[in-house]
Amino acid sequence: MKILLLGFGNVGKAFRKLVNEKDRAKELQNVKIIGIVNSKGLMIGDNENFKVDKKIDLLQAIDEVQPDVIVDMLPANYNNGEPSLSLYLNALHKGIHVITTNKAPLALKYSEIMKEAEKHNAKVLFQGTVMSGTPSVNLYKVMPGQRVFRIKGILNGTTNYILTKMYEGLDYNSALKEAQDKGYAERDPELDINGFDAAGKISILTNVYFGKNITIHDVKFEGIKNINNELINKTREKGTKIKLIAYSDGKETYVKPLEIDKNDPLYNVNGVLNALEIESDIQNTTIIGPGAGPINAAYGALSDLILLIRT
């Protein structure tokens, strides 16, 4: 399996490291990174130290190295999903599989991407887009036959980290700086703070869990901009907490800060942890795990890669 890795930042570097730890899974023995692209150009082959071999763009890189799968770890662009969106359509048209941690193209053009994949018998795998390496997208694949009524959770690591730190007494700016230093935040952290990231994620999960074709524009969302230390102190005194909650029942989909009490299972989901509660006619299932972090997001893509080889 030949990989073209797109993006060599926090997550891209962590992914490269995981892929080269061949003892993780027998499926990795025949996996090879044959090219890496960053904003400077293409490096042919696989090396920890990036150097530009060809100053070509992303589309040209696909033709140059002819991979079996592209792994997208480029920054999220919610204006139009580019350059990733065009890359997916181009790659899928050629029967090249897509693995991605980048939410934007799927949050904007889910059905277009999936139709193109189906037409050319190629796969699009995207566990890393929601809750990083904690199964959320892929969890659905192992619970067939359940009638899902609603899903609800905490889907952004950065804002949950910031709110948690504010309850511990830290100010907003220092908490954000810590989240950035740990590699949790988006390149443009506004995308975390204003709710875009969580809205993109709940739109993707709505499509997966309810078989819909919604986009981020169908999600009502609000971030944590208006949550100040005064509000935090007030709720702390009451024994409640404010959390940025994402919700969908397939009809109504939103992201907003909500006050929750001690009995709510999401009350103790703190720091970079995320959670997803799935309510169905059979049972309620809750999964909790890291929602962000370079190695965690990279693992989401690695798990997709191994599952792709197995099928």
> Are 207 and 148 contacting, i.e. CB atoms less than 8 angstroms apart?
no
12 binds ligand 80F (CB under 6 A): yes
Q: What are phi and psi of 199, to 5 degrees?
A: -65, -40
Distances (CA, A) of 283 to 3, 138, 155, 163, 279: 39, 18, 21, 30, 6
88 binds ligand 80F (CB under 6 A): no
Q: Please state, as a whole number, how many other Cβ atoms lie within 10 Å of the Cβ of residue 115.
A: 14
194 binds ligand 80F (CB under 6 A): no
Q: Which stretch binds ligand 80F (CB under 6 A): 73-81, 110-118, 212-220, 258-266?
A: 73-81
Given 1, 2, 9, 56, the residue binding ligand 80F (CB under 6 A): 9
Q: Which stretch binds ligand 80F (CB under 6 A): 89-97, 99-107, 230-238, 278-286?
A: 99-107
Catalytic residue list contains 201: yes
Q: What are phi and psi of 153, to 5 degrees?
A: 180, -170
Q: What minimum distance in Å lies between the beta carbon of 255 and ligand 80F?
A: 12
224 binds ligand 80F (CB under 6 A): no
Q: Which stretch binds ligand 80F (CB under 6 A): 62-70, 75-83, 105-113, 232-240?
A: 75-83
- Give CA torsion, residues 61, 49, 293, 310, to 10 deg: 60
Q: What minimum distance in Å lies between the beta carbon of 263 and ligand 80F?
A: 26
Measured from the CB atom, the residue of 158 and 215 that comes closer to ligand 80F is: 158
Q: What minimum distance in Å lies between the beta carbon of 281 and ligand 80F?
A: 30
184 binds ligand 80F (CB under 6 A): yes
Kindly tell me the burial class for residue 44, based on how many C-beta atoms sit within 10 Å of its own C-beta (0-12, 13-18, 19 or more): middle
Distance CA 263, CA 8 (A): 42
* Cis amide prior to 83 (ω within 30 degrees): yes
Amino acid identity for residue 198 in this structure: A
Task: Please provide the DSSP assignment of 270-304 as one string.
Answer: -TTEEEEEEEESS-EEEEEEE---HHHHHHHHHHH
Here's the x/- map for ligand 80F, 244-273, by CB under 6 A: it reads as ------------------------------
Q: What minimum distance in Å lies between the beta carbon of 294 and ligand 80F?
A: 5
First vs last C-alpha separation in the chain? 13
203-222: which residues touch ligand 80F (CB under 6 A)?
none
Binding site for ligand 80F (CB under 6 A): 7-12, 37-39, 58, 73-76, 83, 101-103, 128, 132, 156-158, 183-187, 192, 197, 291-294, 297
Q: Which residues are known catalytic residues? A: 201
